[in-house]
Amino acid sequence: MTVRTRFAPSPTGFLHVGGARTALFSYLEARRHGGQFILRVEDTDRERSTQAAVQAILDGMAWLGLEHDEGPFFQTQRFDRYRQVAHELLEAGKAYRCWMSKEELEAMRADQEARGLKPRYNGYWRDRSDTPPAGVTPVIRFKNPLHGEVVVDDRVRGRVIFDNAELDDLIIWRSDDSPTYNFGVVVDDADMRITDVIRGDDHLNNTPRQINIYAALGKPVPRFAHLPMILGPDGAKLSKRHGAVNVLGYREDGFLPQALLNYLVRLGWSHGDQEIFTMVEMQALFSADDVNHSASRFDVEKLRWLNQHYLKTLDPALVVPELRWHLQRAGLDVDSGPQPEDIVIALRERVHTLAEMADKARVWFGPLTGYDEAAVGKHLVAAARAPLQAAHAALAGVQGWSAAAVHDALNAAAQGLGVGLGKVAQPLRVAITGTQVSPSIDHTVFLAGQAEALRRIDAALAKLPA
C-alpha cells in the first residue's frame, strides 16, 4: 500500500512554524516511501477563513519547497459529499437529529461544571421520538458507542486507550447546514485514502471520536502520529511576542529555507548526532516512528547558526536570488552595485542572516555616506598618509580588477613600505567603508570597484591632518 499523507491547515492566518514542521514531517514521510503528499485546506469555518490566508499558506509552502502531489483541496467545495455521508449515517441509525438549543446546551454545561463534572452532551435526543420543538433547527449528532474502549496505536505516543464512556455524541452537522471539523476530516481522510495522519498532539484527544466515525463508516483507520508542540524560548506557547511565527516572517528576517527546514526537522526528531541534513538525507532518514515525546522550544540562536552554515556552504549562486530579494527590500539598486555573488562570498562568514548581509552591503552601493568618528580619529592620522598613497598607487595600477589582484597589489604596497599589511589595511578600511570593521581588506576594496576605491582614498587623504 502506498503511503499517503496530508497537511490540512485551516486558512485563518499565516503558515505558522509549528504548522510548517507538521507539513515537513508529513512531506518527508510520504517522500521516504515514494508516496503522495496531499494539501487540503480546512475552510469550513466561513467566519474566520480568508482567501488571503489561503494564499499566505500556499506562499509559505512554496518558499519552503514543500510541494504537494495532490490538491489543494478545499473542504468548502466538498459540502455535498459531507452532507451525503451525514445522511447515510442518519439513515443507518448511527447518527440522529438533536434539537437542543445552544442556550440549553450552555445551561447544561454550566451545571455540570458546577458539579465538578466533565461538560458534555447528555444524549437527550439520542433515542427520542418526541415531536421536535418549534423554532429550532436541529444539528446532527454522531452516536458514539456507550461502552468499551478505543485504542489509538500512535506512532509517536505508543498505545493510548480511551474509554467510550468519556466521550459524548459530537455534532457532525451544524444547524447552519455545514459539517464540523471532526466529521470533515474523517470523510476527507477516508475519501483521499490517507494512510498516515501526522498532526499536532492537540488532536490526540479528538482521535478516539474520529476512530469511532471511521468504524461507523466502515472505513479503514489510518495510522496516527501526534507530534509534540513547539514552544517559545520561555516554554510558553509560541507567539508573535517571541519573534516571527509566520514562516514568511523568517524569510523577511533573512533566513534561507534550507536552514529553516533543517532547524525544524531537528525539533522533535534526530538521527544520532547528525545536525546537518540535506533534503535528500531528510527524505531518506526521517520516520514518524522516531519522533520525540516531549515539546521543544524554539531557539533562534541555533537557527542563526544553521543559517550561517548554509550561507557558507551553499553554492553562492544558489544564495543570490534570496540576497537580491533582500537588497531590494533594503532599498538598494541591485544593478548599480557589485555582483551579488561577490557580496555573498565576502560576507557569508560575517553575518548570520541575509538581512544583515544586505545591510552590510550598503557601503558598496553609491557614494560613501559618512565616517565613523572613532575610526577616523584612530586611523586617518598623519601616519596614514604614506600607506594610503602607496595603496592608491598600487590599486591604480591594477589590471584586471579582482579580489586576488587587489590582494597582491596591497601586499606589494605594504612590502614596499617595509610594514605589515595591517598598517595599510586599517587606514584603507576606514577610507573605503568609513568604519573599522569590514570583510578582509582585499574583498572590501574589490567590491567598491576600482574607480570608486580610488575616489574614496583621495577623499580620505584630503581629511588627513597636515
Total residue count of the chain as it appears in this document = 466
Does 44 help bind RNA (rule: CB under 7 A)?
yes
251: how many CB neighbours lie within 10 A of its CB?
23
Does 157 help bind RNA (rule: CB under 7 A)?
yes
Does 370 help bind RNA (rule: CB under 7 A)?
no
- Name the one residue in this structure whose C-alpha cell is 490526540: 204
> Which three three-digit cell numbers place residue 177?
447546514
Does 377 help bind RNA (rule: CB under 7 A)?
no
Does 289 help bind RNA (rule: CB under 7 A)?
no
Interactions with RNA, residue window 128-147 (CB under 7 A): 136-137, 139
Does 425 help bind RNA (rule: CB under 7 A)?
yes
**What is the rounded distance in angstroms from the CA atom of residue 210 to the CA atom of residue 385?**
80
Q: Which residues pair with 297 in a beta bridge?
A: 231
Q: What is the total count of residues that contact RNA (CB under 7 A)?
A: 87
Site string for RNA, 380-409 (x = CB under 7 A): ---------------------------x--
Range in contact with RNA (rule: CB under 7 A) among 78-86, 168-176, 253-261, 385-393: 168-176
Q: How far is the CB of 347 from RNA (least distance, A)?
A: 9
Does 416 help bind RNA (rule: CB under 7 A)?
no
**What is the rounded distance in angstroms from the CA atom of residue 77 to the CA atom of residue 296?**
36
Site string for RNA, 196-235 (x = CB under 7 A): -----xxxxxx---------------------xx---x-x
Among 237, 240, 241, 463, binds RNA (CB under 7 A): 237
Secondary structure letter of residue 97 according to DSSP: E
Which is the catalytic residue, given 102, 237, 240, 463? 240
Q: How far is the CB of 308 from RNA (least distance, A)?
A: 6
Interactions with RNA, residue window 434-453 (CB under 7 A): 436-442
Does 83 help bind RNA (rule: CB under 7 A)?
no
**What is the rounded distance in angstroms from the CA atom of residue 325 to the CA atom of residue 327?**
6
**What is the rounded distance in angstroms from the CA atom of residue 346 to the CA atom of residue 341?**
9
CB-wise, 294 or 369, nearer to RNA? Answer: 294
SS (H, E, C) 218-270: CCCCCEEEEECCEECCCCCECCHHHCCCEHHHHHHCCCCHHHHHHHHHCCCCC
CB-wise, 260 or 334, nearer to RNA? Answer: 260
Q: How far is the CB of 407 from RNA (least distance, A)?
A: 7
Does 102 help bind RNA (rule: CB under 7 A)?
yes
- Residues with Cβ within 8 Å of 313's Cβ and at least 6 positions away in sequence, in order, are none
**What is the rounded distance in angstroms from the CA atom of residue 17 to the CA atom of residue 243?**
11
- Residues with Cβ within 8 Å of 84's Cβ and at least 6 positions away in sequence, in order, are none
**What is the rounded distance in angstroms from the CA atom of residue 349 to the CA atom of residue 357?**
10
> Which three three-digit cell numbers place residue 290?
522516531
Q: Are 410 and 442 in contact (CB under 8 A)?
A: yes
Secondary structure letter of residue 50 according to DSSP: -
Range in contact with RNA (rule: CB under 7 A) among 51-59, 119-127, 249-257, 382-390: 119-127
Interactions with RNA, residue window 293-322 (CB under 7 A): 293-297, 299, 301-302, 304-305, 308, 312
CB-wise, 240 or 293, nearer to RNA? Answer: 293
Does 349 help bind RNA (rule: CB under 7 A)?
yes
Among 85, 150, 171, 391, binds RNA (CB under 7 A): 171
CB-wise, 88 or 163, nearer to RNA? Answer: 163
**What is the rounded distance in angstroms from the CA atom of residue 256 to the CA atom of residue 418?**
45
Interactions with RNA, residue window 180-199 (CB under 7 A): 180-182
Among 27, 82, 121, 286, binds RNA (CB under 7 A): 121
What stretches of 177-329 adopt beta strand conformation (E)? 196-200, 223-227, 230-231, 296-297
**What is the rounded distance in angstroms from the CA atom of residue 270 to the CA atom of residue 286?**
8
Site string for RNA, 1-30 (x = CB under 7 A): -------x-x--------------------
Is residue 463 among the annotated active site residues?
Answer: no
C-alpha closest to that of 387 among 329, 464, 315: 464
Q: Which residues pair with 94 in a beta bridge?
A: none
Q: How far is the CB of 406 from RNA (least distance, A)?
A: 10
**Catalytic residue IDs:** 240
